[in-house]
Amino acid sequence: MIQYRSDLLRLLEARGYIHQVTDADGLDALAAKEIVPGYIGFDATAPSLHVGSLIQIMMLRRLQQSGHKPIVLMGGGTSKIGDPSFKAEERKLLDAETISANIASIKRVFQRFLVFGDGPTDAIMLDNADWLDALNYLRFLRDIGQHFSVNRMLAFDSVQLRLEREQSLSFLEFNYMITQAYDFLELSRRWNCRLQMGGSDQWGNIVNGVELNRRADAREVYGLTTPLITTADGGKMGKTERGAVWLNADQLSPYDYWQFWRNTQDEDVGKFLRRFTDIPLDEITRLEALGGAEINEAKKLLADAATALAHGDAAAADAAETARKTFEEGSGGDALPTLKVDGAIGLIDALVGLNLVASKNEARRLIAQGGARIDGEAAGDDVSIAVAGDVRISAGKKKHGILTAA
């Protein structure tokens, strides 16, 4: 392990966040002597970020915890283009109203993880539309375009992958890496930003920004990326059978979020505790060494801590208590998803309405395989359920919901 001097890089290294750094010695020296403003950009392509973005949010949290200034950059401008990095096809273009609504919805998440304000290490939230929307195209080409080599841009892995697959890469998308680099230049000029962080898929874009600052302003700035987060079975972090694990409570209930973490594979417990909770490292070392049934207690602690960060202590406690009642006592709980029913409902409609399955076809398969239960009893057909009081519906052993009388 590299012996860093700064609290920032020591913390990031110990928690497993560092994959690549443009100049580790230079960044370490800077962070050891002064407050470093650092940013990560988030495009507003949906009303909520998902758990795949959580590593980036936690990076900003670690930046603040080690005495530096986080900058949350919302992509009100770049969302109009869409990042082509390692995507198989061009993103659907969003209109300005949708992007604005998405940004307003996403903002709520960051209040849980960062302290915002006017202090030297308080987080700030900016929108790159503030400068990208006002750009003069010819002036931008003359002043900024001269610093970019098309040959080098074509060599980036994210671009090469699309070209090798003979998949279209539009000129609109090709400009994304230039606009992201320009973001770094503007943040450096406006906010003294010295660091951009991101996932490993952003390395090429980040390097562009570092080099643009050097060429345009002769200023040394830095880039740092995290490793790709995968699960023990090789899957991508946050991908489930039911789709994305959203961070906003109106997109995914705190109970379902808690269950996502509770279902972590044994081999991933230590890694996820380090990166997605504030539990002390020596305690994590003890927890990840647990074996057999004891590892389940570590998973519950992971679920409690991760859910408390995203949704608050009360929501985490409610989710944990609901899980305890559901799995240990066989009863329901306040945090389970609920659906009000006037009279009766078919089992398929109940499973879909409670979001226990993604579609009616999935519900039919679940019923045919014997995985659907009504108040704990297996249901082998799409029966009609009379709802006079609370009725517990289960999809497999881990997904439950409550039908209530309207």
Q: What CA–CA distance (Å, rounded) separates 37 from 121?
A: 8
Nearest CA among 86, 197, 80, 207 for reference residue 153: 207
Q: What CA–CA distance (Å, rounded) separates 395 from 406?
A: 22
Does residue 395 contact residue 366 with C-beta atoms inside 8 Å?
yes
**Residues in the chain where the model's pLDDT stays below 50:** 86-89, 241
Res 151: pLDDT: 74
The residue with tokens 């273009």 is 93
Angle, vertex CA 368, rays to CA 365 and CA 371, nearest 5: 85
Length of the chain as a residue count: 406
Q: What stretches of 38-87 show up as alpha helix (H) in DSSP?
A: 54-65
Res 71: pLDDT: 98
Beta strand pairing status for 195-199 and 37-43?
A: parallel
Nearest CA among 30, 251, 271, 377 for reference residue 261: 271
Give per-residue pLDDT as tens, 123-172.
Answer: 999 999 999 998 887 888 888 888 877 777 777 766 667 667 666 666 66
Res 88: pLDDT: 44
Q: What CA–CA distance (Å, rounded) separates 349 from 333?
A: 21
Query: Which residues fall within 8 angstroms of residue 2, CB to CB, at 6 or more apart?
Result: 9, 13, 24
Q: Checking phi first, is residue 181 left (phi over 0); if not, alpha (psi -120 to 50) or beta?
A: alpha
Q: What CA–CA distance (Å, rounded) separates 270 from 267?
A: 7
Q: The tokens of 300 are what?
A: 């519950």
Res 327: pLDDT: 65
Give per-residue pLDDT as tens, 173-204.
Answer: 677 788 899 999 999 999 999 999 999 989 98
Q: What stretches of 84-136 show up as alpha helix (H) in DSSP?
A: 96-113, 129-132
* Strand, coil or helix: 289: coil
Res 349: pLDDT: 92
The residue with tokens 């949010």 is 57
Q: What CA–CA distance (Å, rounded) separates 110 from 322?
A: 26
Res 172: pLDDT: 65
Domains of the chain: 7-226 (3.40.50.620), 253-329 (1.10.240.10), 338-405 (3.10.290.10)
Beta strand pairing status for 69-75 and 372-374?
A: unpaired
Quote the distance between the C-alpha of residue 101 and its chain's center.
18
Nearest CA among 403, 397, 406 for reference residue 351: 403
